[in-house]
């Protein structure tokens, strides 16, 4: 379970000491009830901002003591501590708060409306955490059970009615796929890591190569495997070189170490090189790129190539 402490998400302090709750019958599941920006899925910083905004709305708009939920869960399965265990929530409605803790999934009735499997896993984690740490009973209900509201929305409520099952890990075993190719020759000066630019998408249904025509081929938290094949021209026979994959921050400000480096030696004519990374993980707000370096004395070029990424999230 990925628990985000109040300190870590920058929560404001409650106005007064929260009312204590010794135990509950269980947990009620909620959603935001309005528009949720779909870009949350690619940018976890937006999840954190949204949680802060919800707390502000509850404290400044509703005049509550604190955010109304016991916990909030983002599309990346992170469980943000709200009021937490053994504290009376405010989100279930008057008279209904001492019966159940309140857990909110960051989906709404517009924009992002369907929970990811990771979010369902995170809500399940939050429920089990409240049972363990807060003496929550076994009931799992929706906000609409016993209160006139659409909350938690169709998809989350359907899941609640099934008993809120932890998503089958096997459902997440089917990888998604990105395949890109080179469209223009790229210069390869000596002794310099050159980031490969991919001008063509062969397959990218989930828009991972989001800077289309740019270098990034996977965007955001995932397990992945990568292969890239390149054709290099103009390197004297015996020129040594290296290939690697690198992670960069989504806003391009920082470079985060590289995966294993693979060596090659130029052959006569064009040199074909293959980079293969069987398994690695990419962090939240990180992008994946491929780089090549040659240690000769003359400038060569990359004349052709393609990359394929299988990823799981
Ligand atoms: Zn609700
Ligand atoms: Zn998130």
Q: Per-10-residue mean pLDDT for the chain, 313 residues long?
A: 95 95 98 93 91 98 97 95 98 96 97 93 97 98 96 96 85 73 94 92 71 79 92 96 90 71 93 91 88 94 94 82
The ligand placed nearest to the CA atom of residue 116 is: 2
pTM: 0.61
The ligand placed nearest to the CA atom of residue 149 is: 1
CA of 26 to the centre of ligand 2 (A): 25
Chain centroid to CA 30: 21
DSSP category for residue 11: P
Question: In the block, which residue shows the tokens 């954190």?
Answer: 48
Distance between CA atoms of 106 and 47, rounded to whole angstroms?
8
Rg (alpha carbons) of the chain, rounded to whole number: 24
CA of 75 to the centre of ligand 2 (A): 5
pLDDT score, position 170: 54
CA of 14 to the centre of ligand 2 (A): 23
pLDDT score, position 205: 67
pLDDT score, position 148: 95
CA of 48 to the centre of ligand 1 (A): 19
∠ Cα 38 171 227 (to 5°): 80
The ligand placed nearest to the CA atom of residue 112 is: 2
CB 36 within 8 A of CB 153: no
Distance between CA atoms of 248 and 243, rounded to whole angstroms?
16
DSSP category for residue 70: S
Question: In the block, which residue shows the tokens 């075993």?
Answer: 173
Closest by alpha carbon to 120, among 140, 137, 148?
140
Question: In the block, which residue shows the tokens 């890591």?
Answer: 193
Closest by alpha carbon to 290, among 174, 178, 144, 136?
178
Distance between CA atoms of 262 and 291, rounded to whole angstroms?
11
Instruction: Enter the tokens of residue 154.
Output: 């169709």
Distance between CA atoms of 84 and 96, rounded to whole angstroms?
17
CA of 152 to the centre of ligand 1 (A): 6
CA of 234 to the centre of ligand 1 (A): 64
CB 69 within 8 A of CB 91: yes
CA of 150 to the centre of ligand 1 (A): 8
CA of 47 to the centre of ligand 2 (A): 5
């Amino acid at each position: 379970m990925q628990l985000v402490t109040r300190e870590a998400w920058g929560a404001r302090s409650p106005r007064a000491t929260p009312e204590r709750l010794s135990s509950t019958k269980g947990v009620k599941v909620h959603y935001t009830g309005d528009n949720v920006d779909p870009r949350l899925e690619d940018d976890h910083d937006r999840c954190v901002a949204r949680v802060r905004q919800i707390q502000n709305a509850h404290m400044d708009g509703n005049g509550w003591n604190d955010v109304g939920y016991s916990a909030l869960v983002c599309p990346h399965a992170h469980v943000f501590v709200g009021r937490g265990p053994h504290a009376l929530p405010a989100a279930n409605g008057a008279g209904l708060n001492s019966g159940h803790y309140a857990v909110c999934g960051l989906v709404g009735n517009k924009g992002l409306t369907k929970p990811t499997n990771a979010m369902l896993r995170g809500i399940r984690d939050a429920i089990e955490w409240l049972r363990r740490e807060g003496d929550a009973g076994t009931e799992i209900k929706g906000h609409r059970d016993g209160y006139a509201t659409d909350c938690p929305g169709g998809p989350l409520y359907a899941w609640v009615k099934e008993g809120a099952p932890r998503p089958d890990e096997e459902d997440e075993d089917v990888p998604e796929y990105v395949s890109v190719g080179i469209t223009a020759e790229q210069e390869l000066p000596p002794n310099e890591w050159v980031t490969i630019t991919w001008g063509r998408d062969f397959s990218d249904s989930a828009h991972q190569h989001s800077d289309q025509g740019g270098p990034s081929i996977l965007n955001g938290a995932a397990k992945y495997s990568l292969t890239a094949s390149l054709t290099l021209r103009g390197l004297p026979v015996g020129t040594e070189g290296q290939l690697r994959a690198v992670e960069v921050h989504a806003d391009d400000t920082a470079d985060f170490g590289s995966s294993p480096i693979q060596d090659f030696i130029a052959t006569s004519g064009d040199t074909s090189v293959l980079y293969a990374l069987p398994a690695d993980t990419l962090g939240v707000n990180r992008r994946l790129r491929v780089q090549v370096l040659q240690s000769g004395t003359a400038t060569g070029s990359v004349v052709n190539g393609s990359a394929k990424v299988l990823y799981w999230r």
